[in-house]
């Protein structure tokens, strides 16, 4: 018997999935239909969401078309004022206050295209949030919900009376009624929540869905510190006769760091130019290319040491020749689990260009480690405040800066800028430099350094914002502890809150790479 109809031609495919950068334009168009007259998302907001907490952003897709979306972040709700606003809890929509160690998922937006309402799109998005809260073992979902029909009743009743009437099903509100049907309970009514929400008269209902599967974890309830130990190597450049000479010096310092139970050991920028001292090549640009022949040996050495000594290594930086035959200044992260990441130097100094022909990288990266998110900004890069701000917005808590300077003026540029980055971004910064000299090596003959670990400047941090520093121009190590829990608390409740108090309505840093 033959089929009368091709059933596949009638099928529709609706999926709820994580948002991607390719969805942004569709979402921006959709919001104009969903919220006419309200301040819309900007591309920078959605890109920030995806960079910081991609798993918390969802879209509803029907036959390839975006018909709904929702955004969220994780917070510790108890840290926010009872009368907080939407701007307070979202960092004005950029969610840079997202706390992956928080207890609560906070929903900041749900929208469904008007042409596709009454298809349970919103309910599907809410269920995706609930599944996420269960998967991440979060205590609850909190939302600040609009009451868009309140403007019709404002002359007859207060916001509290209106909310009570909706709760008793005497009045229908398209948002509040929907949230109540989805098992959210009313906590309170907040005034001035969304200044541009004229229909709700700026009021919002603060509501919560409790995750009954939540399992309290004592290590989160009672955690008062999150120490990370850093060993900074101030490395002396000296004449060597083979790669094995360099490997022996490096292993010595890694051993020292491991004996001190360090989480990170940091080497200086281009300290591997020490290899030039036995290459017998007087022309710097040619010597650099010869030195790149040791890249594989360099990577194998540090990978082995990171695993064997159980410490994460910032391997200074090394000149690397890539497939395009260009030479790049690259800093590698060698994790103690054996994995490797790399950060290209983005700003090349006139000296690097003139003598060695070094090419520039073009991406800011932030790396996950077993001690939180970190960034690496090589020497000159720390002197450009935009890079540190971008890295902080991407979640970095520590910025490592391997450097190589030949005089006090150059060193102070690195030092002062690293200290400024620590203050203005509320992060820890670490600088590691070379000392000594290589008189036989053109363009690497003298070195000047005083390595250090810097903190933001506030009461809970080290006096003067200096966790520790080495003596100038002496080969030695500095071992210091930084506390990521203090950093988190100070970002929320410090004397000043540079991250939270930024005026995104006046200015912003825009990162052009997705």
Question: Most confidently modeled of 28-32, 311-315, 393-397?
Answer: 311-315
pLDDT tens, position by position, 86-126: 888 888 888 988 988 899 999 998 889 988 887 888 889 99
Q: Give the confidence band of 221 by pLDDT, cuts at 50, 70, 90.
A: very low
Q: Is residue 353 part of a domain?
A: yes
DSSP output for 143-158: EEEE-TTGGGTTTT--
> Considering just the CA atoms, what is the radius of gyration of the chain in Å?
27
Percent of the chain with pLDDT over 90: 62
Domain count, the chain: 2
- β-pairing, 227-237 with 434-436? parallel
pLDDT confidence band for 220 (50 / 70 / 90): very low
In a domain, 205, yes or no: yes
Q: Which SS3 state, helix, strand or coil, does residue 432 take?
A: strand
185 & 233 share domain: no
Q: How confident is the model at residue 289 (pLDDT cuts 50, 70, 90)?
A: very high
Is residue 224 pLDDT above 90, yes or no?
Answer: no
Range of the domain at 245: 229-493
Tell me the average pLDDT of the chain.
Answer: 90
- The pLDDT score that the predictor gives to residue 3 is 53
* Of residues 220 and 214, more confidently modeled: 214
Cα distance between residue 345 and residue 328, in whole Å: 7
Same domain, 198 and 257: no
Mean pLDDT (whole number) for 343-365: 94
The predicted pLDDT at position 504 comes to 79
pLDDT band, residue 513 (cuts 50/70/90): low
pLDDT, residue 445, reads: 73
Residues 121 and 84 reside in one and the same domain: yes
- Decide if 506 is inside a domain: no
Q: Please report, for the domain that includes residue 335, its CATH number.
A: 3.60.110.10
Residue 43 lies in a domain: yes
Look up residue 446 and give its DSSP letter: B
Taking residues 121-139, what's their average pLDDT? 93
5 within domain boundaries: no
Determine the pLDDT at residue 13. 63
Which CATH number does the domain housing residue 147 bear? 3.40.630.30
Query: Looking at the structure, do residues 111 and 242 belong to the same domain, yes or no?
Result: no
Q: What is the pLDDT of residues 490-507, one digit of tens each?
A: 888 889 989 888 887 788
Does residue 74 lie in a domain region?
Answer: yes
In-domain check, residue 389: yes
**Contact (Cβ atoms closer than 8 angstroms) between residue 105 and residue 71:** no
> What local confidence, expressed as pLDDT, does residue 1 receive?
45
Per-residue pLDDT of 453-486, as tens digits, reads 999 999 989 889 999 999 999 999 999 999 998 9
Are 117 and 256 within one domain?
no
Active-site amino acid positions:
269, 345, 379
CA distances from 450 to 29, 60, 259, 470 (A): 53, 54, 23, 6
Q: How far apart are CA 29 and CA 41, in angstroms?
A: 10
pLDDT, position 31: 87
Which pTM was predicted?
0.66
How confident is residue 183, by pLDDT bands cut at 50, 70 and 90? confident
Q: Could you tell me if 238 and 165 lie in one domain? A: no
- Structural domain contains residue 326: yes
Q: Cβ distance 436 to 472 under 8 Å?
A: no
Q: What's the pLDDT tens digit per position in 306-340?
A: 999 999 999 999 999 998 889 999 999 999 999 99
Q: Which residues of 312-337 are buried (b: 16+ CB within 10 A; e: fewer)?
A: bbbbbbbbbeeeeeebbbbbbbbbbe
The DSSP call for residue 337 is T
DSSP state of 353: H
270 & 127 share domain: no
| Residues 243 and 185 grouped into a single domain | no
Domain identity same for 160 and 32:
yes
Q: What is the mean pLDDT of residues 204-227?
A: 77
368 and 336 belong to one structural domain: yes
What pLDDT score was predicted for residue 219? 43
Taking 70 as the threshold, does the pLDDT of residue 361 lie above it?
yes
Q: What pLDDT does residue 222 have?
A: 46
Are 379 and 405 a contacting pair, CB within 8 Å?
Answer: yes
Residues 202 and 238 in one domain: no
Q: Does the pLDDT value for residue 246 go beyond 50?
A: yes
43 and 108 fall within a common domain:
yes
> Is the pLDDT assigned to residue 421 strictly greater than 80?
yes
């Amino acid at each position: 018997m033959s089929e009368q109809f091709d059933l596949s031609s009638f099928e529709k495919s609706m999926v709820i999935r994580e948002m991607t950068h390719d969805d942004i334009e569709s979402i921006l168009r959709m919001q104009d239909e969903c919220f006419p007259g309200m301040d819309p998302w900007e591309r920078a907001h959605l890109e920030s969401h995806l960079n910081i907490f991609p798993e918390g952003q969802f879209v509803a897709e029907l036959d390839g078309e975006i018909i709904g979306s929702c955004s969220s972040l994780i917070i510790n709700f108890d840290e926010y004022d009872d009368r907080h606003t939407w701007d307070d809890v979202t960092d004005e929509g950029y969610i840079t206050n997202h706390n992956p160690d928080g207890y609560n998922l906070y929903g900041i937006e749900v929208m469904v295209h008007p042409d596709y309402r009454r298809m349970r799109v919103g309910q599907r998005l809410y269920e995706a949030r609930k599944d996420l809260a269960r998967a991440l073992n979060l205590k609850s979902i909190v939302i600040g919900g609009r009451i868009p029909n309140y403007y019709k009743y404002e002359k007859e009743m207060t916001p509290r009376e209106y909310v009570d009437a909706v709760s008793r099903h005497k009045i229908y509100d398209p948002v509040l009624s929907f949230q109540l049907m989805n098992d959210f309970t009313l906590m309170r009514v907040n005034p001035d929540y969304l200044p541009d929400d004229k229909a709700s008269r700026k009021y919002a209902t603060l509501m919560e869905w409790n995750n009954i599967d939540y399992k309290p974890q004592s290590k989160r309830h009672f955690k008062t510190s999150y120490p990370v130990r850093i060993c900074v190597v101030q490395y002396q450049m000296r004449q060597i006769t083979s790669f094995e000479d360099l490997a022996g010096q490096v292993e010595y310092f890694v051993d020292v760091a491991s004996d001190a139970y360090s989480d990170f050991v940091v080497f200086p920028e281009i300290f591997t130019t020490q290899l030039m001292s036995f290459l017998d090549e007087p022309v710097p640009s040619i010597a650099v290319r010869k030195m790149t022949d040791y890249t594989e040996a360099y990577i194998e050495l540090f990978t082995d040491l990171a695993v064997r000594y159980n410490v994460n290594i910032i391997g200074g930086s090394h000149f690397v020749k890539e497939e395009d035959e260009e030479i790049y200044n690259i800093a590698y992260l060698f994790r103690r689990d054996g994995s490797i990441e790399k950060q290209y130097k983005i700003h090349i100094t006139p000296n690097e260009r003139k003598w060695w022909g070094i090419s520039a990288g073009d991406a800011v990266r932030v790396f996950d480690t077993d001690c939180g998110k970190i960034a690496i900004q090589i020497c000159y890069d720390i002197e450009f405040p935009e890079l540190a701000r971008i890295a902080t917005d991407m979640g970095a808590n520590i910025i490592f800066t391997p450097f190589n300077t030949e005089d006090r003026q150059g060193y102070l540029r690195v030092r002062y800028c690293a200290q400024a980055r620590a203050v203005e971004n509320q992060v820890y910064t670490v600088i590691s430099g070379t000392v000594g000299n290589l008189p036989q090596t053109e363009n690497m003959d003298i070195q000047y350094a005083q390595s250090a670990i810097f903190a933001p400047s506030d009461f809970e941090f080290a006096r003067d914002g200096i966790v520790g520093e080495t003596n100038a121009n002496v080969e030695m190590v500095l071992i210091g502890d930084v506390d990521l829990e203090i950093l988190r608390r100070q970002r929320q409740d410090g004397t000043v809150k540079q991250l939270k108090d930024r005026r995104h309505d006046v200015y912003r840093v825009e990162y052009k790479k997705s």
